[in-house]
Structure 1
Amino acid sequence: MTSPLSEVQTAVGLEVSLPCDLIPASATLIQDKVTLVIWYKEGNLKPIYTFDARGKTLQQAVHWADHEVLKSKAHFYYDSHPPALRIRQTRRDDAGLYRCRVDFQKSPTRNWRINLTVLVPPTELIILDNQGATVTENTIGPYREGVSINVTCMSSGGIPPPRVSWWKEHALLDDSFEILPDGSVKNVLHLPKLQRRDLHNILPSPFVDTK
């Protein structure tokens, strides 16, 4: 039988809580005692964290963490609601599928799975003018009146790849972005038939959404 799966998201550098229910499956054994909680992470053969209450109260339980995986930044809080393994200062390599195994004195063992996604912001955002040159001072042109031009927003890095759109004040102009083979994201804004009134006009702004 497949254990329940929870989806958890956080961003690089933040603290995240991975929930693990300590309640037995049987209502008749609701007061049963937790003896051992073991955390696993997909890709690791051995446990990454243990909470050992065998022969002890929960307050006396022994905590152990694999330093190579968790870098001394994780702690299991059995008395939080819900109980959770909290990981501080999350990094890209903290992402993955975790499993929490809970052993009881009388009740059958329970397992919970948590899929952790760590969001990484883009590392670079550039604007390219109609000739493909990088816009460095928020000014493009000059262009002849009546011509049509393309302005490109390029976003590099980021997990997952961000959604890149063009906005003017609160109005969405273009959200037709493209994810390139190298993982960068491109959105090309087409500005047709420039007029004299467009001179010194404020261009629409690109928006990068990493959610």
Structure 2
Amino acid sequence: MLGESWRYGYQIPWAGGTAAGSLKFSGFLIPTFRTLQLQIFLILVLASSNTLEETIYVVSSIEGGSVELPCDVTSSMNDSVYLVLWYRKDSATPIYSYDSRRSRDNNGGNSLWSEPQAFGSRAHYNISRRPTVLSVRDLRGSDSGTYTCRVDFTQSPTVYHHVKLDVKVPPTGLLIIGDRGREIKSDQPVGPFKENISN
């Protein structure tokens, strides 16, 4: 029995097996190790791309002011852009779009569209800037939120960019509360207060 097992290479290589057994064992290990390396590489690439996709740029302004929402439309293949769509986080339909195909068909006209219930005429997309920007004027407090810019290329994969808009709303009035929790009117006297006492 020992002679047969030795001749056909059934011995474990590190236990003194034959060259045939070692080659079989090595031949089994090498593709498994390469597969593991490939899996690890793909996991790292996917994790990296997800991290980049989830990057959120934050811009802020005041109510009544203006702001520019950036959107990078460059690709690693130096590809051309044919469609840019802007979404609000809580909406599944675009609120602004740029269509270069429509622009070419109409000699440069009617390539921009803005949802009237969102920004309407207050928004304008500047495709010539790098990065491109969606300019919004006459900001409202309700404009605050997270926006997504979707970029479709002629050949490259679609990319997404996220922008958080924070619109600061100034106070409309001053409210003074007394030590008893009641509002003090402007025509009422305040005090007297003791010095060096915070409460």
Please indicate the TM-score interval, normalised by the length of the shorter structure.
0.5 to 0.7
CA shift, 1:69, in A, is: 1.3
Task: Select 2:132's aligned residue among 56, 80, 83.
Answer: 83
Gaps of 5+ in 2: 1-49
Which one-letter code corresponds to 2:93 in the other structure? K
Asked whether the equivalents of residues 175 and 183 of structure 2 are also in contact (C-alpha less than 8 Å), the reply is: no
1:130-149 to structure 2, matched below 5 A, reads 130=179, 132=182, 134=184, 136=186, 140-141=190-191, 148=194
Cα distance between partner residues in 2 of 1:93 and 1:133: 29
The reply on whether 1:5 has 2:62 as its aligned counterpart is no
Structure with greater helix percent:
2
Which one-letter code corresponds to 1:140 in the other structure? V
In the TM superposition, structure 1's runs of 4+ consecutive aligned residues that sit over 4 Å from their partners are 128-133
Partner of 1:51: 98
Partner of 1:41: 88
Of structures 1 and 2, the one scoring higher in RCO (CA 8 A, sep 6+) is 2
1:100-179 to structure 2, matched below 5 A, reads 100-130=149-179, 132=182, 134=184, 136=186, 140-141=190-191, 148=194
Partner of 2:108: 60
Gaps of 5+ in 1: 150-172, 174-187, 191-211
The reply on whether 1:20 has 2:71 as its aligned counterpart is yes
Alignment TM-score, normalising by the size of structure 1: 0.59
Q: RMSD value over aligned CA atoms?
A: 2.8
Asked whether the equivalents of residues 68 and 133 of structure 2 are also in contact (C-alpha less than 8 Å), the reply is: yes
Cα distance between partner residues in 2 of 1:129 and 1:122: 19
Partner of 1:204: none
Query: Could you say if the C-alpha distance between residues 77 and 129 of structure 1 is closer, same or farther in structure 2, counting changes exceeding 3 Å?
Result: same
Query: Could you say if the C-alpha distance between residues 105 and 137 of structure 1 is closer, same or farther in structure 2, counting changes exceeding 3 Å?
Result: same
Query: Could you say if the C-alpha distance between residues 35 and 126 of structure 1 is closer, same or farther in structure 2, counting changes exceeding 3 Å?
Result: same
CA shift, 1:135, in A, is: 5.8
CA shift, 1:22, in A, is: 1.1
Query: Could you say if the C-alpha distance between residues 138 and 77 of structure 1 is closer, same or farther in structure 2, counting changes exceeding 3 Å?
Result: farther
Structure with greater strand percent:
1
CA shift, 1:140, in A, is: 3.2
- How many aligned positions are there? 144
